[in-house]
Structure 1
Amino acid sequence: MQHQYDLSRHNSFAFPAICPAFYQPHSLSELDAILEELTSPFYILGAGSNTLFTEAKTTTILQPAFKGISVNEDGDSVLVSAQCGENWHALVSFCVDNQYYGIENLALIPGSVGAAPVQNIGAYGTELADVIEYVLWYEFESKSIKKLNRSACQFAYRDSIFKNQLAGKGLIVEVTIRLAKQWQANLTYRGLDELPGDVTAKDVFDKVIAIRRAKLPDPEILPNAGSFFKNPVVEKHTFEALKKRYPNIPAYPQENNKVKLAAGWLIEQSGLKGFRYGEVGVAETQALVLVNYASKHGQDIIHLAQYVQKQVLAKFEIFLQAEVRLLSSKGLIELTQPRQA
């Protein structure tokens, strides 16, 4: 445990923030010992690629660093189990190299394996929920491991039980995914549909990386947390009304007569692509990304995000929800829709 720990290296926005205590267990026994002595509220941090520190001080931080990957054959598929502290992109690369198919479209998504189910990460027509077999969940109250299958995880778009009923009640220590041995490409998403039908998984993997690098600024060069807002999901009649006004609006049909819209397109159409707000701004290459040019204050991103929300709401009557988790000194906060006058 480290006191008054600087978290600058533990968030991809690169904001300086101090936590009163920083714990990084590498095993269940270490985790048990830490929980015995912890008395104050704490926040479970993955790689910090989806967290914004909104203040100069945070709550106590617990960052599990369990490592290890194992593979078990199961007929026509394989079960790949990865510990929570493993890097997500490294896991994708491992699977592609070993010809385990199903997550190549999720290449280059930053973050840890343990954080991936919480957010139900997704990109280019694939979601983690598509391949999850189960997760091992450490429950704080009983200090025991529980096995939660895909159904129990209650996955939805950028959502899961870990963000709702189980929030703050435990942490994911291991993720097991079921991948195919037989290759079948998923090229339905824009950008991948130009690839030939006989591509390999490595081809798709490389293409996804190329697209992401072209669109998304490198956090090591221009600090950011990737997509700041969720793509809004609206009722079909809302989409149809918007399409009459904006015939070229991108849209993706969903279940239950709903349609997913592209938040980046909405922001760009609001005239905000490349917009500067003091020492932060909207990325020039992808309007869905908010970037930190030189600010030392997480509140600057909050103010920018609220401005973006206000402009999009005024133009489209759609409120964008933050995808990035917002951590204050008192815990998680949310950007809520302003009340109508």
Structure 2
Amino acid sequence: MLVEKNVPLQHSNTFGIAARAHALVRVRSDGDVHALRADPLWGRQPVLVLGGGSNIVLTGDVEPVVLKMEIKGIRVVGETPAAWIVEAGAGERWHDLVAWTLDHDLPGLENLALIPGTVGAAPVQNIGAYGVELQDRFDSLDGIDLSTGQGFTLDAAQCAFSYRDSVFKHAPAGARGMGLAGRAVITRVRFALPKAWKPEIGYLDIERKRAEAGVDQPTARQIFDWVCEIRRAKLPDPQVLGNAGSFFKNPTVTAEQCADIIAREPRIVHYPLTDGSIKLAAGWLIDACGWKGKSMGKAGVYERQALVLVNRGDRNSNDASVTGGEVMTLARAIQTSVYERFGIRLEPEPVVV
């Protein structure tokens, strides 16, 4: 195990925020985690797990020891009557995993193409896009309890998945608390990819692509290509314009609340959910408040998609890049505008450190 000191993190977070890690350990195996815990100095320090840095806002230098997850490997590890089980290391790029599954004729993840970040971060956020969430394809994961050093395996129920949420986003509540935020690190994730695959094409953007192509039953590869085209048209490349993807969660309201909003705002974009609640498009709410294309300092709202906050500075410069403080000042101003107009509180998706 090598502990690197005073490590720049500007190129380890997709916003391009200039910050440093006081100490960083690259985790390439379970043994690296165990070596850290056994170290008489570093093993006593709090930690911050960092994958692709695509869902984080750094508001200053990072005091905890940064665990940079770099465990690699993708393979088929088993099957059930209904699914193939594919395992990936936590340090694999998410999009690379999606492409690998299609290259090996294992469809099921194609709607989640081009989502930034790593495999290990995907269950934390319960990532989702275009009608599919990670929990729909999840089998189990392996991790290590940082307080005890014990390895563990969790199934979907134990991960407590919900919309952009999981047990990994909640701190332990007392001695019997089940929250694992700051307490565990994910090392490998397994996915159940259906043998009886069928296309998920319920989202309007995909339906438009299907209609344009004149295809009744698209293949998984076609859906993959369409999703990549849609995302590239709507979302900026973090290597060119720093960002953390969708910055706010789509809020959910009751049917009665939605009807009240529709009475005042008939064009609001909304999606009925199976439990009777309604999901509202946060990007539409932000756009309706006039924020699209606006900036505060070096933080801005992307002109093609109001749900994305971007770095208007130089993401390759320590001095000219956006700061985490500027990002959060803009985020709070947007939250205030949406609440004052719609009575809805937007919740950020990224972790703020």
Normalising to structure 2: TM-score of the pair? 0.90
Tell me if structure 2 keeps the 8 A contact 1:185–1:199.
yes
- 1:97 alignment partner AA: D
* Runs of 4+ off more than 4 Å: none
Q: 1:167 aligns with which of 152, 160, 181?
A: 181
> Quick one: distance in 1 between partners of 2:309 and 2:243?
6
Aligned to 2:60: 55
Partner of 2:176: none
Rounded to whole Å, the distance in 2 between the matches of 1:80 and 1:228 is 29
- Structure 2 counterpart of 1:94: 100
Q: Which residue of 2 aligns with 1:78?
A: 84
1:239 aligns with one of 252, 258, 269: 258
When the two chains are superposed, the root-mean-square deviation of aligned CA atoms in Å is 1.2
Match of 1:21?
23
What is the Cα deviation at residue 256 of structure 1? Answer: 3.5
Q: Distance in 1 between matches of 2:306 and 2:190?
A: 34
- For the residues of structure 2 that align with 1:151 and 1:92, how far apart are their CA atoms? 23
Give the AA of the match of 2:312.
Answer: Y
- Among 178, 203, 206, the alignment partner of 1:189 is 203
Q: 1:176 to 1:256 in 2, by over 3 A?
A: same
- Bigger shift: residues 108-117 or 53-62: 53-62
Aligned 1:1-341 pairs, distance under 5 A = 1-37=3-39, 38-71=43-76, 72-164=78-170, 165-194=179-208, 195=210, 196-294=215-313, 295-327=321-353
Aligned partners of 1:52 and 1:326 also within 8 Å: yes
Whether the 8 Å contact between 1:99 and 1:181 is mirrored in structure 2 is no
Q: Which residue pairs with 1:330 in the alignment?
A: none
Residue by residue, what CA displacement relative to the aligned partner does 1:154-194 show, whole Å, maximum 9, x if unpaired? Answer: 10000011112111111111111100233311000111112
SS in 1 for 2:187: strand
Separation (CA, whole Å) in 1 of partners of 2:150 and 2:271: 40
Whether the 8 Å CA contact 1:25–1:66 is kept in 2: the answer is yes
Identical aligned pairs, as a percentage? Answer: 41
SS in 1 for 2:44: coil
Letter of the 1:313 partner, please give it.
Y
How far 1:56 moved relative to its partner?
4.1
In the alignment, structure 2 segments of 5+ residues that lack a partner are 171-178, 314-320
Residues 255-312 of structure 1, C-alpha deviation per residue, up to 9 Å, x if partnerless? Answer: 4331110000000000111112122200001000000111342100010101111111
Q: Contact 1:43–1:61 (CA<8 Å) still a contact in 2?
A: yes
Distance 2:110 2:133 in 1: 11
C-alpha distance in structure 1 between counterparts of 2:274 and 2:226, whole Å: 28
The farther-off stretch of 266-275 and 140-149 is 140-149
Unmatched segments (≥5 aa) in structure 1 = 328-341
Number of aligned residue pairs: give it. 327
Cα deviation for residue 76 of structure 1 reads 4.2
Q: In structure 2, what residue type is equivalent to 1:41?
A: P
SS of the residue aligned with 1:24? strand
Checking the alignment, whether the CA contact within 8 Å between 1:138 and 1:172 is kept in structure 2 is: yes
User: For residues 193 and 306 of structure 1, do their structure 2 counterparts lie closer, same or farther at Cα, with a shift above 3 Å needed?
Assistant: same
Distance in structure 1 (CA, Å) of the matches to 2:64 and 2:333: 27
- Matched residue, 2:317: none
Whether the aligned pair in 2 keeps the contact of 1:106 and 1:123 (CA below 8 Å) is: yes
Task: After superposition, give the CA deviation of every residue in 1:175-232 in whole Å (9 maximum; x if it has no partner).
Answer: 1110023331100011111213221111000000000000001111100010011101
Checking the alignment, whether the CA contact within 8 Å between 1:185 and 1:197 is kept in structure 2 is no
SS of residue in 2 equivalent to 1:191 = helix
Once residues 48 and 110 of structure 1 are traced to their aligned partners in structure 2, the CA distance between those partners, rounded to angstroms, is 9
SS of the residue corresponding to residue 247 of structure 1 reads coil
